């Protein structure tokens, strides 16, 4: 005779298991905080201004996605880790997020809260220029601006040495129906060795800008263009990823009939990582 199947666990038993896991998760977070406390001294965060290390974060988010499985939504896991990592960034050196809400208040606020949580102060600005200028006046604050639209060439503020730079593009993990899908550049001052240039962002000023020149560039790079009617030209923010290169962009501009008046590297970010649907 076979034994009767074991009785299913009671609700109280399952809740005991959940309590034990919650305690472990909480304990592990406190252990993580202790490590951050030691890391502050090693990293000399206070001297540089910002503790944000976008390349490290992009890598952490990629690994998170790659090992994730099961019924827990990836959106939830990514959101939890964004709050953990950005809170520990804040704990090392407090900063504010200055967001350009001219591209849509709710989408920008969702992006700021998803990526930086509620502990990091959020400051709304009515233009990208104002957000970037607030960062330029600060020691380690960070601006969020759209990667796709520009009413003014705010990136010119980033040209001088010592000015803040584009340091990240978020979301770090792209996928269909991302809960904070608005593509944004993060602009901040970071240590030179923290700048990642897998994709370079260049400020390029051109003369002879027109639709044909714009079409010639679009297969080679992502471009935001602000036409400058006084000079028949434009201020461009061009995101360049290998195999494209600044020289190939310049050559394409010239071949299409434009001339290049100036170029300046204004930052960079990790390669875009897309989760297949």
Ligand X SMILES: O=C(O)C(=O)C[C@]1(C(=O)O)C=C[C@@H](O)C=C1
Q: Return residues touching ligand X (CB under 6 A).
A: 39, 43, 51-53, 56-57, 85, 88-89, 92
> Nearest distance from residue 7's CB to ligand X, in Å?
43
Tokens of 88: 């520990």
Q: Which is nearer to ligand X, 26 or 56 (CB)?
A: 56
Q: Which is nearer to ligand X, 57 or 141 (CB)?
A: 57
Q: Which is nearer to ligand X, 90 or 209 (CB)?
A: 90
State whether the Cα torsion 170-181-133-158 is positive or negative. Answer: positive
273-274/173-174 β-pairing: parallel
184-188/222-228 β-pairing: unpaired
> Nearest distance from residue 170's CB to ligand X, in Å?
12
Q: Which is nearer to ligand X, 58 or 225 (CB)?
A: 58
List Cβ neighbours of 236 (8 Å cut-off, separation of 6 or more): 202, 203, 204, 205, 206, 223, 224, 225, 226
> Nearest distance from residue 131's CB to ligand X, in Å?
20
List, edge to edge, every strand of the sheet that includes 97-100: 122-125, 97-100, 142-146, 184-188, 165-170, 259-269, 199-207, 233-241, 222-228
DSSP per-residue codes, 12-57: HHHHHHHHHHHHHHHHHHHHHHHHHHHHHHHHTHHHHS----HHHH
> Nearest distance from residue 114's CB to ligand X, in Å?
16
122-125/222-228 β-pairing: unpaired
Q: Which is nearer to ligand X, 44 or 69 (CB)?
A: 44
> Nearest distance from residue 21's CB to ligand X, in Å?
22
Q: Which is nearer to ligand X, 85 or 224 (CB)?
A: 85
> Nearest distance from residue 63's CB to ligand X, in Å?
12
- Closest-CB residue for ligand X? 88
Q: How far apart are CA 170 and CA 79, in angstroms?
A: 13
Q: How far apart are CA 128 and CA 101, in angstroms?
A: 8
CB contact at 8 A, 264 and 203 = yes
> Nearest distance from residue 84's CB to ligand X, in Å?
7
> Nearest distance from residue 138's CB to ligand X, in Å?
17
Q: Which is nearer to ligand X, 39 or 72 (CB)?
A: 39
Q: Which is nearer to ligand X, 51 or 236 (CB)?
A: 51
């Amino acid at each position: 005779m076979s034994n009767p199947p074991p009785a299913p666990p009671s609700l109280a038993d399952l809740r005991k298991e959940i309590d034990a896991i919650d305690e472990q998760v909480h304990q592990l977070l406190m252990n993580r905080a202790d490590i951050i406390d030691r890391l502050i001294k090693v990293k000399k965060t206070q001297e540089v201004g910002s503790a944000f290390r976008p390349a490290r974060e992009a890598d952490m988010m990629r690994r998170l996605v790659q090992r994730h499985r099961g019924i827990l939504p990836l959106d939830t896991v990514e959101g939890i880790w964004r709050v953990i990592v950005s809170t520990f960034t804040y704990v090392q050196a407090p900063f504010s997020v200055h967001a350009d809400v001219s591209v849509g208040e709710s989408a920008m606020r969702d992006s700021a809260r998803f990526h930086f949580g509620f502990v990091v102060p959020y400051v709304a600005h009515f233009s990208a220029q104002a957000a970037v200028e607030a960062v330029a006046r600060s020691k380690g604050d960070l601006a969020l601006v759209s990667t796709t639209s520009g009413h003014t060439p705010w990136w010119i503020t980033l040209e001088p040495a010592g000015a803040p730079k584009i340091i990240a593009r978020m979301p770090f993990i792209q996928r269909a129906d991302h809960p904070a899908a608005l593509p944004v550049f993060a602009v901040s001052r970071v240590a030179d060795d923290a700048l990642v240039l897998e994709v370079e962002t260049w400020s390029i000023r051109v003369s002879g800008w027109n639709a044909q020149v714009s079409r010639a560039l679009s297969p080679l790079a992502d471009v935001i263009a602000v036409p400058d009617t006084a000079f028949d030209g434009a201020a461009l923010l061009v995101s360049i990823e290998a195999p494209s290169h600044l020289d190939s962009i310049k050559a394409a501009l010239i071949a299409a009939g434009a001339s290049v008046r100036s170029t300046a590297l204004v930052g960079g970010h990790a390669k875009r990582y897309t989760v297949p649907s």
